[in-house]
Amino acid sequence: MSESHTLHPQRVGRGSHADMSTTSTLHPQEPGSECKDAKAATLTLRLTEVFFSLQGETSRVGLPTVFIRLAGCPLRCRWCDTPYSFQGGETVALTALLAQVAAFGVPTVCVTGGEPLAQKNCLPLLAALCDSGYSVSLETSGALDISKVDPRVSRIVDIKAPDSGEEARNRWENMAHLTPQDEIKFVLANRADYDWAREVIHAQKLAQVCPVLFSPVQGELQPASLAEWILADRLPVRLQLQLHKVLWGNTPGK
């Protein structure tokens, strides 16, 4: 990737360093915040990377966003594009992570993975980001409980289609917790996946609850084919292509 595409050269995580002394106007000191800060200082997370890029998906597509990619995932989707997040990562204090995010000076944050909810301290991280004034989204596999996520967070919840190999992991109880600020995402590999997703949407009346996103598996399903199927069925979903891959390919951290 050429340097001209690099919106912010600073990438934090996996051994790189942020300027921890940087303060942000997104972090006003409120009464009682010392207590919260003391608690946050004791919490840690396993972090794959923190990076700054354009949001590639969801209704926030195109927005400059700080991404926090937490390490680990209990699923193994056949077409996963972030297997480097499955293992490793560095242990970071929640307070240090907040400082890394603040250093970018951007109001929009996306917590992703891996499966971020597989770490119990993801919940206090999300709450702390909201408390700090960020607009926060969470990308989750749909296999874990989303009900405890801070209600200020926009939850992007996958529903795993059969060809992912992880259909059995879908936690259908999550559907009852969705609100209009959340979004449902299907990643589809073929026509059978599409037909399955269409039936799920009808059966669960998902399009009446929140936006529904359809993404084709890159290199397996032609985006134009998926577009034609959606149009033919008048399906109330949004086709989305991953903007970051259009711009930068499969570059990690972009």
Contact flag: residue 122 with ligand SF4 (CB under 6 A)? no
Q: How far is the CB of 39 from ligand SF4 (least distance, A)?
A: 29
Count of residues of this chain found to bind ligand SF4 when the rule CB under 6 A is applied: 10
Q: How far is the CB of 70 from ligand SF4 (least distance, A)?
A: 10
Contact flag: residue 113 with ligand SF4 (CB under 6 A)? yes
Angstrom distance (rounded) from CA 77 to CA 158: 11
Joined tokens for residue 96: 């240090």
Burial of 149 (0-12, 13-18, 19+ CB in 10 A): buried
241-246 — which CB contacts under 8 Å span 24+ positions? 241/215, 241/216, 242/56, 242/57, 242/215, 242/218, 243/54, 243/55, 243/56, 243/57, 243/61, 243/62, 244/53, 244/54, 244/56, 245/56, 245/218
Residue in 47, 77, 101, 212 binding ligand SF4, rule: CB under 6 A:
77
Contact flag: residue 73 with ligand SF4 (CB under 6 A)? yes
Contact flag: residue 78 with ligand SF4 (CB under 6 A)? no
Contact flag: residue 68 with ligand SF4 (CB under 6 A)? no
Smaller CB distance to ligand SF4: residue 69 or 198?
69
Residue in 18, 80, 102, 125 binding ligand SF4, rule: CB under 6 A:
80
Sign of the dihedral through C-alpha 95, 101, 103, 106: negative
- Contact set for ligand SF4, span 138-177 (CB under 6 A): 141
Nearest to 115, CA basis, from 86, 81, 152, 150:
86
Choose one: 9-17, 100-108, 111-119, 199-207; the region binding ligand SF4 (CB under 6 A).
111-119
Q: By the criterion CB under 6 A, which residues form the site for ligand SF4?
A: 73, 75-77, 80, 82, 113-115, 141
